[in-house]
Amino acid sequence: MMNRRGFVLTLTTGLVALVLVVGSVLAEELVGTIIKVDADAKVIVVVPKDSDKEIKVKVTDKTELVTRKGTQKLDLEKLEKNIEKAIDAGRKGISAKITHEDGVASKIQYTGKKKASQ
């Protein structure tokens, strides 16, 4: 039979595990193409992969950009220039996976295809 201390420890451990699992589920992922950036309003416009509907996602100073080179803080002006280059090259924008909660992005990860080495 389990004593009181062991029961409380088991119950606490179970509750902590439950909170961690539920907390990680709350953040949503949006896979699509970033087509516009409003640096003044700190908003990016994304078209999801499975839809033509535009979704506005806010960014903060804590939003991270993940590239092949590593993780860095998001620079909206640089992102806006990269999107303009992509549009000039004939693409819709930049393919990315945006992790967000309540419409506020915490992480943006580029998902563009690698160029074939020649």
Q: What is the pLDDT of residues 86-112, one digit of tens each?
A: 999 999 999 999 998 888 999 999 886
**The pLDDT of residue 59:** 94
- Per-residue pLDDT of 14-73, as tens digits, reads 888 877 666 555 668 889 999 999 989 999 999 998 888 999 999 999 999 988 888 999
115 has a pLDDT exceeding 80:
no
Query: Is residue 18 in a domain?
Result: no
> Going by C-beta distance under 8 Å and a sequence separation of 6 or more, which residues neighbour residue 34?
44, 45, 46, 79, 83, 93, 94, 95, 96, 98, 108
Query: Is residue 1 in a domain?
Result: no
Pair of tokens at residue 92:
């819709």
Query: Is residue 98 in a domain?
Result: yes
> Going by C-beta distance under 8 Å and a sequence separation of 6 or more, which residues neighbour residue 82?
94
Half-sphere exposure of residue 118: CA atoms within 13 angstroms, side-chain side: 1
- Select from 96, 105, 46 the least CA-distant residue to 73: 105
**The pLDDT of residue 22:** 64
SS3 percent helix, strand, coil of the chain, rounded to 5, is 30, 35, 30
Query: Is residue 6 in a domain?
Result: no
Number of folded domains in the chain?
1
Q: Which pTM was predicted?
A: 0.71
pLDDT interval class at 117 (50, 70, 90): very low
